[in-house]
Amino acid sequence: MKTAVVVGAGPGLGLSIARAFGRQGMGVALIARKKDKLDGLVHVLNQEGIQAQAFVGDVSDESSITAALDQVESRCGAIEVMEYSPLPGMGRDQNLMSALGTSVEMVERQYRRLVFGAVTCVRHIMPAMLKRGRGAILITTSGSGYFPMQILTPIGMAMAALRQYAYCLNQALAGTGIYTGTVCIAVVIRRGDPQGDPDHIAGTYLDLYTRRDRTEVILAGDGDPMKVHLEDLTARGITPVFGAQAQIR
């Protein structure tokens, strides 16, 4: 059985992504910092007939996240898909996020969680994927990584770097049988919302994995400043992303 790993799994998008791949017959491994939260998600998936297991790991701690990935490979077998979507660490920065209030410490904290964690995970699982000549890496970013939002400066800086990393991986892995794609989410994730329902968004990840015909999908709501900006660029004949493989929804 192929295994899909969701790094940074939670009850919203992470659960929905796990469900989407699990319904395709894959085993699902969920990684996050809190075991009680993970156990609850595993229970939900198991009740739906999806084979899921929980693994505790912290993306901001290299030894912790690599140990979790080792456990996944030991108990679940080869990793076919890794989806990376840990939430940014807000913490004590939440009231001081503007460009003028941004400190080196804040930026470093976001980079460690969002960028360094992704690099650690990819480097750890890549040798086995390259040996098999098969696999996929799906990376989640947010609208702040594309469209400047000064109140989210440190997060946006890290998200922009993470998006760039995904594109570079896509280019570097061309012809290897390993696909890298990224989903930029610029909508509020909320169950029941026609644009932001996590089950609907999760379908985008499965579509990228299956079709492998573009590098990025940008999800922006109708009337959202980011979508208006992107549509305006397109109307003026300006490609709104790096590369022609992106799709805007």
pLDDT tens for residues 36-45?
999 999 999 9
Average pLDDT over the chain, rounded to an integer = 88
CATH of the domain at 190: 3.40.50.720
Percentage of residues of the chain with pLDDT beyond 70: 85
Which pLDDT band, with edges at 50, 70 and 90, does 90 fall under?
low
CA distances to 24, 49, 132, 158, 216 from 21, in Å: 5, 12, 20, 27, 19
Per the structure, the count of domains in the chain is 1
User: Which pLDDT value is given to residue 229?
Assistant: 55
Q: Which domain holds residue 221?
A: 3-248
Nearest to 163 by CA among 138, 144, 185, 182: 182
Token pair 């009680």 in the structure block, residue: 36
